[in-house]
Amino acid sequence: MTTPQKIGKYEIQGVLGKGGMGSVYRGFDPAISRAVAIKAISKTSLGEDDLKHIMQRFRHEAQAVGRLVHPRIVQIYDYGEDDDVAYIVMELVNGKTLAQHLQQEAGYELREVGEIIRQLLDGLGHAHAAGVIHRDVKPANLLINSDGRIKVSDFGIARIETSQLTQIGDVLGTPHYMAPEQFLGIDIGLQADLYSVGVITYELLTGRKPFVGNSAAVMHQVLNVAPPDPSSINTKLSPLLDAVLQKALAKKSVDRYQRASEFADALQAAIDAALAPVAAAIAAAPPLDGIALMNAARLLSNASEVAQNAEIDLAALLPGDSAISLDTGVKQARLLLVDDEERILTALKSLFRQRYHVFTTTDGNKALDFMSKHHVHVVISDQRMPVMPGVELLRRSYAISPTSVRILLTGYSDLAAIVGSINDGEVYRFISKPWDNTDLQTIVAEAATIGLQLADTKTPVAELPSKTDAGILVIDDDEEIFRVVRELAGRLCPVIYAPDIDAALAVMQAREIGVVVTDVGAGQGQLTDMLKLLKQENPQILAIVTTSASDSELVIALINEAQIFRFVSRPVKVKLLKGHLHSALQRYLTYKKTPELVKAHVVQPAASVNLSSVARRLLTGFKALRGKWF
């Protein structure tokens, strides 16, 4: 298959890899200025008997994996085909595979192995919950991006690389990482994936696979021979790790771990036990910073039970628990950290305790009760918590303390949850786990500065008048949404239509605009840049975005770089849109009454904006609007 210049609408910039039936290309989506990876299969290389079945499998896998939106899984953006090729457009991960790292004889410490496998199992657990089984988990399908985060690739795609659709009796996978049932060709469940993870863990801990030799030799051993204990190869390993790996590599699937989370918990407990002496050394060592500090905090938090057995008084080192506790250090901004995982709270507290008053709790109700009695400058909450989801916590915290700055912290990229967090919780920034310490410290420092500035600001909400001069500008390539908005708000304020960004800029220069309504679906890259630049220069203008897109990364970027006021999914629910329009106008008038409140919506220059000639023209125009109407 020769390298094409374009596949569909995507420009081809290079070859990332080749296979028997197709290739993986580095591509570029010109509509939204995004680099992508494109896996393409050449139809002309397939016989007529195979073509129908393989294309059916390819489409099925694209649809199945396209449902998986998770930070540990390479996301699928698009699928397409023509007479010559079928292709899947995926997230481009800048980094190397775990296999490449192992080929370069990269060595990993015990806690690093634990973190790699934790991320891998997190992604697989999400897939299994959605009914998707990988079937070919191996180092070559695990990407490690430039900041050390794991991305699982080729979910189930390996199953199309046979001339038949997968049936009982097919043998699929890579021999060294295959479970016994895969060799036997019997029905395969999620436990086969967990077996493969066991092989990878074994390899990372010992430097070798549990079974070696050619495919026939490996098959014989997988079916009939117990693997050597890892500690017999690496004498530094604990017998507890032997037990974890032997269970993961059991011959019968029913004897293995039945869920990814079960495997992750058992492995973490064994690693914590092995590192208990390290935890004692960390407790006695001088203070650390950066990544080392977070790692130390994680070890101390997770090793509490083992440490008690070793007579380490962690209670004296880390006061608190699930109750809110006060760090009585420097008198600065107050941070309230809410997460149901104590290890996350410990890591965050260790990161911030020298600069701020830090309060922690695992209980959302305790957090709200505390905020009702004491002013908090910054609230950082996890999203997925059993008692009270982060969205609900932040929504209720806004009602209690509207001048507190809210940050949502989560390890999941669930689009519905993200949109809910913005529409209900008034979030300042969205941060994905695992976080980058430097980025997190910068964002919290910005939030703390804003929180301190707003602490004494009174927040009288402006009444929505029967008529206001501040208008609503609708930017879209057709007039459908404009007509809806005009019907909903035309009696309240001017509603103006602009078919493109140049017309929109002209409108904003000619009259006062308080709210912008636009769509950021596929092909709207210039509009997303416009929203970022507009908020950068005129943070008082509120944006409502309508979209049918399912790209969580795009939404996160708009949250962090454009402070979108509300998101509305298409097809639009009219009643919901009306409420958002009225809320946005009321908020704009409140900002006019109390301009200090706008500080919570100031954004830094958007690094993701490509300053083309159009963007530079917009930036100049938006700078000229400063103070003109507000």
Q: Which residues are catalytic?
A: 136
Q: CB within 8 A of 191, min separation 6: which ones?
A: 179, 253, 254, 256, 257, 258
CB contact set of 483 (below 8 Å; sequence gap of 6+): none
Sequence-distant (6+) residues with CB within 8 A of 2 are none
CA dihedral 624, 607, 558, 437 (to 10 degrees): -130
With beta carbons less than 8 A apart as the criterion, state whether 257 and 194 touch.
Answer: yes
- The counts of H helices and E strands in the chain are 24, 19
Q: In degrees rounded to 5, what are phi and psi of residue 190?
A: -65, -20
Altogether, the residues listed in the chain come to a count of: 630
Residue identified by tokens 């989801």 is 389
DSSP state of 221: H
Place of tokens 């989560």: 410
Rounded Cα gap, residues 69 and 123, in angstroms: 10
Angle made by CA atoms 198, 202, 203, in degrees to the nearest 5: 120
DSSP string, 100-144: HHHHTT----HHHHHHHHHHHHHHHHHHHHTT---S---GGGEEE
Backbone φ and ψ of 164, nearest 5°: -130, 150
Q: How many CB atoms lie within 10 A of CB 181?
A: 18
Sign for the pseudo-dihedral over CA of 226, 232, 237, 240: positive
Contacts of residue 511, Cβ cutoff 8 Å, sequence gap at least 6: 471, 494, 496, 629
* Phi-psi group of 105: left, alpha or beta (phi > 0 → left; psi -120 to 50 → alpha; rest → beta): left
User: Minimal CA–CA distance to 474: which of 466, 463, 485?
Assistant: 485
> How many other CB atoms sit within 10 Å of the CB of residue 612?
12
Q: Are 520 and 547 in contact (CB under 8 A)?
A: yes
> What is the amino acid identity at position 465?
P
Q: Give Cα 496 distance to the centre of its chain.
A: 36
* 191, 257 contact by CB (below 8 A): yes
Let me know: does 622 contact 536? Beta carbons within 8 Å: yes
Which token pair is 413? 């990229």
Phi first, then psi, for residue 11 (nearest 5°) are: -80, 135
Give the span between the Cα atoms of 359 and 335, in whole angstroms: 6
CA distance 611 to 296: 41
What the block records as the tokens of 563 is: 């402070």
Question: CB atoms < 10 A from the CB of 365, how many?
Answer: 12
Amino acid at 518: T
CA separation (Å) from 396 to 199, 283, 593?
Answer: 46, 37, 24
Dihedral sign computed on CA atoms, order 446, 452, 453, 454: positive
Pairing of strands 429-432, 405-410: parallel
